[in-house]
Structure 1
Amino acid sequence: MKGSAIVLAAALGLAPLSASAQAQSDPAREGYWWYAPKPEPAEPKPAEEDALVKPAIPPMAELATWTPPKIRKLIEQQRDYAATVLTVDAVADFWRLQDFARRKARAFAGVTQLAMLQHPELNSKSANPMVGDARDQLLAYKDDTRRQYLRAHAGEFALVMFSRTTCGYCRVQWPIVQRFQDEMGWQVTLMDIDRRPELGARFGVEVTPTTMIIRRNSQQRMIIASGVEAYPNLAQMAYQAVRLLTGDIRPEQFMTGAGEEGGFFDALGLGPVSASDPRAAEEMVGGNLISSPPDQKPR
């Protein structure tokens, strides 16, 4: 019967039923090998992204318990709503939220000022006075500290300035380097890489003028200026470079100026700041950093 049905369908030009169609037409054949196809789920209608929704503004007492990101999101929603409907009430609600954020920011600033008075170690004014006379004394102290340190290492390091014959800026930088020699007692050398190109290749110098610190009897060297650099900056970079090369500071402390060790501007003055610092693991107890006792000087 089945074969004759197929022959008859072919003679009439009808396409044979698929397996799933045969299973649907004959429920008795549904089973392990025969099944009805599952209907395709209807595609959900995409939500309208720019739908106009009036934000719900809670009472101020509740708003005061919200986090700043949540408050900012509500302000943005109210701003967009007010800019769309352009009603007095909607715009007023937006500025009420802005006023709340302004007062909250001012309150934070007020508590911050009180915290700075109670914890002067967190305030830069304790280490960086802005009054003229005190500022002059601080700068003089830093200059003296830097000069003494560099003079103490004059026999251990030398300063090399790489130049070219055609380099006009080199003629400006060289007197500055010579001043460093006069004040710090260092040996300085002028290297013309046009005449000795092998030196430029050896030290990786492509830009002139380039000023470099070289440690005697060592492979250690460090560029402290590329291009023209003012004398105060040159002296400061030389000071930082020598401290780094001698191991007196770590890379994290490279911006710590003369006389600022262990103070407000010392990145490691109160302990480790990097997860790679082995001291960080030692000072972690229960997931919290242990603060130094008040009578203990910061490291």
Structure 2
Amino acid sequence: MGNLLKTKDLLRGVAALVALGMLAPALASAGFYIQSDRPGYYWGKDPVEPEGPEQEKPKPQVAAPKQEQKEEPKKYEWESRAELKFSDFTPQQLWDMKPKELAALLEAFKDQSVWRPTEEHVHDTYAMIDIARRKSSAFANVQQYVVNKYPEISTERDYPMAVPGKEAIRQAKTQEVNQRVAQASNDYGLIYFYKPGCPYCEAEEKILRFFVSSRRFDVQPVNIQEQPGVAAQFGITITPSLVLIKRGNSQPLPISYGVIALDELEARVFNGVRLLDGQTTPEQYGVREYERGGAFDPTAPLNR
């Protein structure tokens, strides 16, 4: 990891913060808590109550918990019939039924045909299934028409199914990541927390070496056994861990715990840089620039 030690200046501020933790014992030994004989919870003694007649404190009134009334399932007219017959319903009646009632009626026909598997009962069950299938087909047809007519609710542009479209998306994503990570290499760096003998750290180091050589990105390794104070400052308890930091910015951003692949590492650095630069929000954390305003931008409807 010799060529990874390019950003020691990134930890100077951290060392100062860790040093502050050593001041408390010195202040205590220098008589900082000189009022230790003063009664009170902060000095380890119960506070002295003023003398006077004891008065019984009123007990707080506790409201009885409200009992939730369970809503009874809706009863349909046909549920009271001794026997269900498909011929008792017109096609228009079945077509106009709300989905919950149509599903309940279909289940009732199924139960009846299994209970009494006569030719008529089984036929009526499949007739009901046919109605439900046609309703689903009608929805699918209207859905296709609506998506074609209103492209803003379609995902075809942002998630094409054709091979040439998928390749175009891949190229756009790779180009955007490469440019942004290259621009950020001057102002950003990674702190890599590891522990000797950790097999996962050895696997991650191979990925980091390739990342450093290809992206010219600074990585500062920190041995948590030799520098436990630094690890505690960043809340690190798992190795390997990676934290993204920006020069002049006191808000570090953890981006991984455990082993992550190279493409995932690049994506997380890309997203983290955009977030710390104020170019995106947590709601749009994984949204690429070419996806803004599209089907995968959760805030797009708010900006129309």
TM-score between the two structures when normalised by the length of structure 2: 0.67
1:133-191, CA deviations, whole angstroms, 9 ceiling, x for partnerless residues? Answer: 33223212211111212222223321122111011111111122233333333211111
The separation in 1 between residues aligned to 2:235 and 2:252, in whole angstroms, is 11
Aligned to 2:27: none
- Greater mean deviation of Cα atoms: 78-87 or 231-240: 78-87
Moved over 4 A (4+): 50-53
Does residue 54 (structure 1) correspond to residue 83 (structure 2)? The answer is: yes
SS in 2 for 1:179: helix
The separation in 2 between residues aligned to 1:89 and 1:266, in whole angstroms, is 52
Deviation at 1:61, TM superposition (A): 0.9
The separation in 2 between residues aligned to 1:52 and 1:117, in whole angstroms, is 45
The equivalences for 1:21-60 within 5 A come to: 53-55=82-84, 57=86, 58-60=89-91
Read off the aligned partner of 1:166 and give its amino acid letter: G
The separation in 2 between residues aligned to 1:89 and 1:165, in whole angstroms, is 75
Aligned to 2:107: 76
Deviation at 1:130, TM superposition (A): 3.1
The equivalences for 1:97-136 within 5 A come to: 97-136=128-167
Structure 1 unmatched ranges of 5 or more: 1-49, 273-291, 293-299
The separation in 2 between residues aligned to 1:51 and 1:262, in whole angstroms, is 52
The separation in 2 between residues aligned to 1:226 and 1:204, in whole angstroms, is 11
Aligned to 1:65: 96
Task: Determine which of 203, 207, 215 is the counterpart of 2:234.
Answer: 203
CA contact (8 A) 1:54 1:78 kept: no
TM-score between the two structures when normalised by the length of structure 1: 0.68
Aligned to 2:187: 156
1:106-129, CA deviations, whole angstroms, 9 ceiling, x for partnerless residues? Answer: 111112112222222322222223
Read off the aligned partner of 1:64 and give its amino acid letter: W
Residues 156, 105 of structure 1: alpha-carbon distance in 2 compared, 3 angstrom cutoff? same
Deviation at 1:56, TM superposition (A): 6.3
The equivalences for 1:220-235 within 5 A come to: 220-235=251-266
1:267-289, CA deviations, whole angstroms, 9 ceiling, x for partnerless residues? Answer: 112316xxxxxxxxxxxxxxxxx
Aligned to 1:34: none
Deviation at 1:237, TM superposition (A): 1.4
Residues 54, 195 of structure 1: alpha-carbon distance in 2 compared, 3 angstrom cutoff? farther
Read off the aligned partner of 2:109 and give its amino acid letter: Q
CA contact (8 A) 1:146 1:258 kept: no
SS in 2 for 1:92: helix
Read off the aligned partner of 1:54 and give its amino acid letter: E
CA contact (8 A) 2:185 2:218 kept: yes
CA contact (8 A) 1:53 1:81 kept: no
Deviation at 1:225, TM superposition (A): 1.8
Residues 225, 55 of structure 1: alpha-carbon distance in 2 compared, 3 angstrom cutoff? farther
Deviation at 1:132, TM superposition (A): 2.8
CA contact (8 A) 2:85 2:124 kept: no
Question: Percent of pairs identical after alignment?
Answer: 27
Aligned residues: 224
